[in-house]
Amino acid sequence: MNAIACQVVSIEALTPVVSKVLLAPSAPVHFSAGQYLQLCITATDKRPFSIASIPEQTLLELHIGTPEGDSWSSSAMHHLRQQHALAAPVQIEVGLGQAQWQTDSDRPVILLAGGTGFSYVYSIAMAIAAANQDKPVFLYWGVRTKEALYYQAELEQWAATNSKFRFIPVVQQATAAWSGRTGLVHEAVLEDFVSLDAYDIYMAGPFAMAGVAREAFAEQGGHREQMFADAFAYI
Ligand SMILES: Cc1cc2nc3c(=O)[nH]c(=O)nc-3n(C[C@H](O)[C@H](O)[C@H](O)COP(=O)(O)OP(=O)(O)OC[C@H]3O[C@@H](n4cnc5c(N)ncnc54)[C@H](O)[C@@H]3O)c2cc1C
């Protein structure tokens, strides 16, 4: 696969541990909503990141989490910051993954995100909206603390103006200040749907979440061939 040079347009803190990165490709890029890119730090050191934007947008948007002690994503962020400061390009490979949005499906959609897995489901939700597909979309976003819901206001606004779009944030370690859903995000889905038989389910987040969600959803009627996650290739 050919690498494409990109300028790092901006790096913005979404939370103390998640950064939004905008990249401007030097040539047209081809990908489907829900695919990921690889940041090529060297010819052999490549790190995958979900693309939060959709193909219709000019810039590529990434959401990169760098929790304490995570050298995997920290070194990717270090590379991006360094190149940004030097106004030098980064190299990416784009259009990777097998869990992209299934454009020809007319089934309703459940989007399940754990933490920065939100990037992946955000792209798919935007693509469905951009295609004017009039079908129910349920976006579940699980985070450890409510401060990690960095796009909450935008999603609530979206849900307020689109009767087919539901946004369900789920906070794992809730305080008294949180009045919404609590616990693990896949458990909220299990509570809300008697059967998952009818749904296409897209998921991204910690690999452990994808693993337990796939098994639990299958037990509740979900079809494995209608569940999509690039994490499945790693577990
Ligand atoms: C193809 C690919 C693309 C990737 N793209 C990105 C990217 O764009 N950005 C990025 O930062 N990283 C990315 N990664 C790395 C990895 O997916 C992230 O590190 C992961 O999503 C980080 O989650 P988090 O720490 O934000 O979630 P956490 O804060 O750990 O968890 C969030 C929620 O997930 C659920 N959860 C967590 N653990 C469990 C469990 N054991 N059982 C059940 N539920 C659980 C809970 O509801 C929890 O509140 C990617 C990896 C691959 C392979």
Residues lining ligand 1, Cβ inside 6 A? 36, 48-50, 62-65, 67, 73, 114-117, 119, 142-144, 172, 184-186, 205-206, 208-209, 212, 230, 234
Task: Write out pLDDT tens, residues 2-56.
Answer: 899 999 999 999 999 999 999 999 999 999 999 999 999 999 999 999 999 999 9
Q: Which CATH class is domain 109-234?
A: alpha beta
For residue 77, the model assigns a pLDDT of 97
Q: Which atom of ligand 1 is nearest to the CA of 213?
A: 43
* Residue 182 CA: distances (Å) to CA of 46, 171, 193, 210: 35, 5, 16, 18
In total, the chain counts a number of residues equal to 235
Pick the CATH number of 4-96 from 1.10.3720.10, 3.30.365.10, 3.40.630.40, 2.40.30.10: 2.40.30.10
Determine the Cα–Cα distance for residues 109 and 201; give it in Å rounded to an integer.
6
The DSSP element (H or E) to which 200 belongs, if any, is: strand 200-204
Determine the Cα–Cα distance for residues 78 and 186; give it in Å rounded to an integer.
32
Nearest CA to ligand 1 atom 38: 209
**Listed residue (234, 199, 198, 192) closest to 98, CA to CA:** 234
The pick from 15, 70, 186, 209 for probing ligand 1's pocket by mutation, whose C-beta has the most ligand atoms within 8 angstroms, reads 209
The pick from 74, 111, 116 for probing ligand 1's pocket by mutation, whose C-beta has the most ligand atoms within 8 angstroms, reads 116
**Listed residue (208, 155, 163) closest to 186, CA to CA:** 208
Amino acid identity, residue 62? L
The 8-class DSSP code of residue 21 comes to: E
Q: Whole-prediction pTM value?
A: 0.97
Q: What percent of the chain is modeled with pLDDT above 90?
A: 94
Distance (Å) from CA 27 to ligand 1 centroid? 30
Amino acid identity, residue 157? Q
Domain edges within the chain: 4-96, 109-234
